[in-house]
Amino acid sequence: MIEKNSNTPIVRLSSVTKIYKQGRMEVKAVDALTLAIGKGEFSALCGPSGSGKTTTLNLIGALDIPDSGDVMLEDRNLRDLSRTELSRLRRDRIGFVFQAYNLVQVLTAYENAEFVLNLQGVPRAERKERTMALLKEVGLEGMENRRPDELSGGQQQRVAIARAIAPEPAIVLADEPTANVDSATAGALLDLMEKLNQEKGVTFLFSTHDERVMRRAKRIMTMRDGKLVGDEAKN
């Protein structure tokens, strides 16, 4: 079980800058960003499109490397890790929930949910027990054998959440997780993630401009032009 609501930072960004080239232009997607995310947080990065939310999530999620500054995940500097080590770090310590669900289309709901456990080499029996429990928890009991194209958007996102939390990661990064679903489904998904945060202590960091997410988040970090322009904790 993940330790709940500790103040120990899981993620620390120190003066992180990420520049993208667009033709001859250089765009600072993230500009000297410094922030920390503590264990058990249920926080959100907000801001308009192009403010650097997704880039920040990608940097924290070891999907991208900063041009300057350091990204530390559980005291490990991502810059020091090889491609394979970064893959293993993502596998073991980071969960991802994407806007477009991003399930593997040839795998069933069960296989998608157990995907990371499989990569970790968890024994079959244990994998089955944990995956079935997770699918039950996210409300997909009885749908284990369905392929993604046989599930609704909300159901696919539930599978993605199950996949993300299956390896008991240090943090779940959710990039616009409610953007592609209707209000009722969005509410149900947020209920689920909130429950996982409160009951299991799973740390969530959202990138969103969805009001519903912002209302539920306990901490709102606002970005504009790659900079953190607001950081508000709710009671």
Partner 1 sequence: MLFTMTWRNLSRRKRRTLISAFTVAGGVFFSVAFTATGDYAYTNMINTSATMGFGHVTVEPEGYNLSPTLQKRIGGANAIREKALKIEGVTDAIVRITGQAMFASAAKSVGGVFIAVDPSQESPENNIYLRSMVEGSMLDKTDGRQVVVGWKMAKKMNLRVGKKLVYTTTDINGEIVSEVGRISGIFKTGVDAVDGSIALIPIDKMRSILHYGPDEATLVSVFIDDQRFAGQMRDVIASSLAMKGVDILTWSQTQADMAGIIAIDRRMNYLSQFLVGLVIAAGILNTMFMSVLERKREFGIMMAVGMTPGRLFRLVLLESFWLGLLGVIMGALITIPAYIYMSNIGIDLSSLVEDGADVGGVLIDPIMKYRLYKQSVAAILSGVFALTILAGLYPAFKAGRVAPVENLKIV
Binding footprint of partner 1 on the chain (CB under 8 A)? 58, 61, 63-64, 83-84, 87-88, 90-92, 96, 98, 100, 102-107, 111, 115-116, 118-120, 163-164, 167
Based on CB atoms, which residue is closest to partner 1, 96 or 204? 96
Based on CB atoms, which residue is closest to partner 1, 42 or 96? 96
Distance in Å, CB of 114 to partner 1, minimum: 8
3-state secondary structure labels for all residues of 198-226 = HHHCCCEEEEECCHHHHHHCCEEEEEECC
Distance in Å, CB of 116 to partner 1, minimum: 6
Distance in Å, CB of 82 to partner 1, minimum: 10
What token pair was written down for 60?
A: 């924290």
Based on CB atoms, which residue is closest to partner 1, 165 or 220? 165
Based on CB atoms, which residue is closest to partner 1, 7 or 82? 82
Count Cβ atoms below 10 Å from residue 175 Cβ, excluding itself: 21
Distance in Å, CB of 91 to partner 1, minimum: 2
Question: What is the spatial distance between Cα 55 and Cα 211, in angstroms, rounded to a whole number?
Answer: 20
Based on CB atoms, which residue is closest to partner 1, 52 or 167? 167
What token pair was written down for 32?
A: 């000297």
Distance in Å, CB of 106 to partner 1, minimum: 4
| Most distant CA atoms of the chain, gap in Å | 54
Count Cβ atoms below 10 Å from residue 232 Cβ, excluding itself: 12
Distance in Å, CB of 187 to partner 1, minimum: 26
Based on CB atoms, which residue is closest to partner 1, 113 or 189? 113
For residue 2, the 8-state DSSP code is P
Element holding 206 (H helix, E strand)? strand 204-208
